[in-house]
Structure 1
Amino acid sequence: MENMYKVGDYVYFETSSTSPFQIRRIEELNKTPNGHVEAKVMCFYRRRDISSSLIMLADKHQSLLEENGETVPEEKEEEQSEKGSHQLKHRELFLSRQVETLPATHIRGKCVVTLLNETEALTSYLNKEDMFFYSLVYDPQQKTLLADKGEIRVGSKYQAEITSLLEGEDTRKLSELEDLIWQPCPENGITDKEIDQFQIVAKSVGTFARALDCTSTVRQPSLHMSAAAASRDISLFNAMHTLHEYKYNIANAVTSLVPDGGPVLCKDEMEEWSASEANLFEEALDKYGKDFNDIRQDFLPWKSLKSIIEYYYMWKTTDRYVQQKRIKAAEAERKLKQVYIPNQKPNPAHPAVLSGKMNGDQMSGRACESCYSSHSNLWYAWGPSHLQCRLCSSCWTYWKKYGGLKMPTRLVEFKLKTHLARHLATAHGLAIRPGSPKPVMKTRTAFCLVTTALTRLSRRLCKDLLRPKHAARLPFIPINIAAIKQECK
């Protein structure tokens, strides 16, 4: 059902009535003691949620993809390419491993989030409703962007190099390619019973060696724990290696177990790790799963990757692992599988809904800031309050879902007056003069815009290039000043 939400669904969450929805993936659904349902979710971030420096990195990553986009008809090429590129940024998300808990009643619908498919046209994401993609991973703590490890790798540089087929008879000597490490047989003068007896001797030596080792006595204070540690595979492998090294001569092999420096002590990763390190590992495993690189980077940087992987497979053979599996299975039985959330109908009492005298479906004031329409059944306040901008109901829904406007906004904010002057001169052929023609009526911070001589001349000589009506409909698109200068010469 459309209103049934289950674990693994990508959903919209509304945390503010005037801000865009947040996009999350449901990890768990839990029922609180007071009867409410909470969702444990994984966070996705939009472009508007990250810093401008990281957006520049994302743009470099996306510019390579836009070069492979589909073409559009010539008469709409300029407007469509800009509109498509603008809306495509609204579909881009950034995966994070940040997890939070939100009330399930704040869910506002489902969406689809996929890893960017480099073999698929980017326009395919725009043609599908509620469709998003991601290719970069955002770390909110470190403020970094990294490529996702699951990205599709296409091209010759990602293909395996296969060796040429060996023709004819294989002349290689297997004895030179392999190492013989175990070959007990009656010809070597040893029986299975003697091998078992030697392994018991090796375990006993290992137990005694742990009694002499200071660090081992702290971690295994009892004889029972020391004997259990000495009975693990590391001791048995060492015993078999020693037998093979001394050509299955038990007398020489036993002597080698107790050299001049003391009895041989063989430790595996289970003994090398402290209790606090083991707890850190279990916490990291619960957060990252079997992503050992992230476990090492965030939780155990002093351990090698080899050490962490070895410890993991040894840890899976312990009672601790079995207990955790049982606990998680019991928790999974108590968790909800799905939850029903009804649809939210448009509310005229919404804080962003503008009130006023309605004239049919038209209200006096500015047109929609996104689609420039002057007709809508509901109008919503948008942007800074002093600018009195508004959106129609259709564009408001788009804004809530995608975090942007359908078309680039006509509002351009400049922090410095010099930036505004440079933009007006280069993009629109306007000049700023300080002061005012009537300083008595204006404050000293007022200024007026005056067209340059080149702009006035181009209105008469370069109508085809300037296209005044087209420029008036799309005031946010810069005019090609260089082409106009060339024509006026």
Structure 2
Amino acid sequence: MAANMYRVGDYVFFENSSSNPYLIRRIEELNKTASGNVEAKVVCFYRRRDISHSLIQLADKHAKELEEEKENPTETELTDKQKHQLRHRELFLSRQYESLPATHIRGKCSVALLNETEAVLSYLDKEDTFFYSLVYDPTQKTLLADKGEIRVGPRFQADVPEMLQEGEADDRDQSKLEEKLWDPECPLTDKQIDQFLVVARAVGTFARALDCSSSVRQPSLHMSAAAASRDITLFHAMDTLHRHNYDLSSALSVLVPAGGPVLCRDEMEEWSASEAAMFEEALEKYGKDFNDIRQDFLPWKSLTSIIEYYYMWKTTDRYVQQKRLKAAEAESKLKQVYIPTYNKPNPNQISMTNGKMATVNGAGPGAFHAAGGGRACESCYTMQSAQWYSWGPPNMQCRLCVSCWMYWKKYGGLKMPSRAEAPEERTSPTPASNESRSRSHVPRQSNHMVPMRNSGSPKSSMKTKQAFLLQATRLTKLARHMCRDIIRLRRAARRPFVPINCGAIKAECKSSFNSS
């Protein structure tokens, strides 16, 4: 029951197509529609196969720089298989939201920000575990480092200079040093300081009464007094005391110069009502991502101004009211939903019917004949499996075993076995096995070459047709040079759809060997 209970904040697999890998999403909301169905508002994560090749290169460069900056780089060198599988575990966070039917959930997974202090191989040791370090914008086609990354390494450490001895020359730039703004050992008592601050607040209230623009924004005396009591007025008063060496009479004369009382305003007073409404709308969309708020909603405001306004806005009644409204909305929404385990047969599942291979729904290629049914798994090369699944374009007639099919669905790629794990006939074919390959393992259109899929590039997944190349075996290359009279193999290689006579090739090669 717990495994089938999905809550807000869970990372889950979504299935949008029976033949495509699962989508990886984070549940933000669970809403019940008018028809009674449950929809999940989710945050999108993208795989390497979903973004362009240029951005993949940028991501690899970023990962290499992080590895070089580590104090203790990875000691153990990763194998090709480990590197290949780690690429399947890498995701890219996005700010994009979408709504999907909750019935399309196929299980839970785990997604974490890449921990630079943890061995990267630890992600391979855990099932259904993924990591990310970059944020992908599908609209702008850009990659950015996540702002929540763990700042570990020499570039984040401060260089503390040696302490200067008494009388030693100070060659530092004095303009960049900190400035003392308040002396806790000043001659004034706490009561005298509090009295001066009360006078400063009174002057601030009077200044707002004289200012026309302030009287419009603060129409009542209570609102003007509240505005004059904020930090901006108190900071100005304490700075004035410090500049005049804590002389009360001199500081009081500065508060009310000849031109009238000094008016100090903060961000809450400088912003208009329309700007405040735009800020609340932007905060609802982007959260506390102040750079995006400034770029898309308030470009005429400085980043400092927006951040200061945010922390002042959090102290207002407006913020408290919105927080209560959100809490009430959250109470009305679903907290969790139960989704039964999906056990319907996949349309790509292959079954045996009268000695022929066919997909469950009958939509697969009828070319899965008895000979083709003996093909090995395209990923692990095994010949035995409790269940087989058709994979790739129909004309390729490829299939995957159960474990490799689940790996493909979850991680979006195929396993990369070492050469020692592959069957012997696949690495060093004999003439007899090469002839049988021409009739069964390879379709008619490539009866004298071995098809090699080009699935490593992200661009190949966006093509409408499967891209592949024909790689000749060593025996085929040798036969091209030896067979010149009966069959011209170089010409036959340009016409792969025409079958060739393997017996004639053997006879001519044998005669050439005997004569030499």
* TM-score, with structure 1 as normaliser: 0.71
1:53 equivalent in alignment to 2:59:
no
**In structure 2, C-alpha distance between the alignment counterparts of 1:197 and 1:165, rounded to whole Å:** 42
1:391 equivalent in alignment to 2:391:
no
Distance 1:264 1:117, change over 3 A: closer
Partner of 1:466: none
Equivalent runs, 1:85-484 vs 2, <5 Å: 85-162=83-160, 178-180=180-182, 185=188, 195=196, 198-199=199-200, 201-211=202-212, 213=213, 216=214, 219-220=217-218, 228-239=226-237, 241-242=239-240, 256-257=254-255, 259=257, 261=259, 263-347=261-345, 350-357=346-353, 364=370, 365=372, 367=375, 368-407=377-416, 410-412=452-454
Mean Cα deviation higher: 361-370 or 199-208: 361-370
Contact 1:69 1:122 in 2 (8 A): no
Question: How much does 1:445 deviate?
Answer: 7.2
Q: In the alignment, residue 401 of structure 1 is paired with which amino acid?
A: K
Distance 1:30 1:178, change over 3 A: same
Distance 1:63 1:429, change over 3 A: farther
Contact 1:205 1:257 in 2 (8 A): no
User: Among residues 64, 68, 72, which one is paired with 2:74 in the alignment?
Assistant: 68
User: Gaps spanning 5+ residues in structure 2: where?
Assistant: 167-177, 358-367, 418-450, 482-486, 500-516
**In structure 2, C-alpha distance between the alignment counterparts of 1:442 and 1:429, rounded to whole Å:** 12
**In structure 1, C-alpha distance between the alignment counterparts of 2:47 and 2:101, rounded to whole Å:** 21
Contact 1:280 1:299 in 2 (8 A): yes
Mean Cα deviation higher: 263-272 or 284-293: 284-293
Question: How much does 1:35 deviate?
Answer: 2.8
Contact 1:198 1:250 in 2 (8 A): no
Contact 1:399 1:405 in 2 (8 A): yes
Q: In the alignment, residue 352 of structure 1 is paired with which amino acid?
A: N
**In structure 1, C-alpha distance between the alignment counterparts of 2:94 and 2:403, rounded to whole Å:** 30
Partner of 1:16: 17
Question: How much does 1:185 deviate?
Answer: 4.3
Mean Cα deviation higher: 323-332 or 55-64: 55-64
**In structure 2, C-alpha distance between the alignment counterparts of 1:402 and 1:238, rounded to whole Å:** 59
Q: In the alignment, residue 383 of structure 1 is paired with which amino acid?
A: G
* Residues 381-421 of structure 1: per-residue CA shift (max 9 Å, x gap): 22222323222222221111000111389413899xxx999
Q: In the alignment, residue 140 of structure 1 is paired with which amino acid?
A: P
* Residues 160-203 of structure 1: per-residue CA shift (max 9 Å, x gap): 445668999xxxxxxx97444686848x9x96896476345413
**In structure 2, C-alpha distance between the alignment counterparts of 1:420 and 1:15, rounded to whole Å:** 26
- Count of matched residue pairs: 421
CA RMSD of aligned residues (A): 4.6
Contact 1:209 1:265 in 2 (8 A): no
Contact 1:26 1:42 in 2 (8 A): yes
**In structure 2, C-alpha distance between the alignment counterparts of 1:257 and 1:391, rounded to whole Å:** 82
* Residues 107-134 of structure 1: per-residue CA shift (max 9 Å, x gap): 1111122222334333332222112111
**In structure 2, C-alpha distance between the alignment counterparts of 1:332 and 1:83, rounded to whole Å:** 45
Question: How much does 1:321 deviate?
Answer: 0.8
Q: In the alignment, residue 145 of structure 1 is paired with which amino acid?
A: L
Mean Cα deviation higher: 362-371 or 20-29: 362-371
Question: How much does 1:148 deviate?
Answer: 2.5
Distance 1:406 1:153, change over 3 A: same
Partner of 1:462: none
Q: In the alignment, residue 124 of structure 2 is paired with which amino acid?
A: L
Contact 1:257 1:264 in 2 (8 A): yes
Q: In the alignment, residue 25 of structure 1 is paired with which amino acid?
A: R
* Residues 260-319 of structure 1: per-residue CA shift (max 9 Å, x gap): 555533211011222232223223333444343443344433322221221112111111
**In structure 2, C-alpha distance between the alignment counterparts of 1:119 and 1:197, rounded to whole Å:** 53
Q: In the alignment, residue 357 of structure 1 is paired with which amino acid?
A: T
Contact 1:376 1:393 in 2 (8 A): yes
User: Gaps spanning 5+ residues in structure 1: where?
Assistant: 73-80, 169-175, 450-489
Identity of aligned residues (%): 61
**In structure 2, C-alpha distance between the alignment counterparts of 1:376 and 1:261, rounded to whole Å:** 92
Distance 1:266 1:390, change over 3 A: same
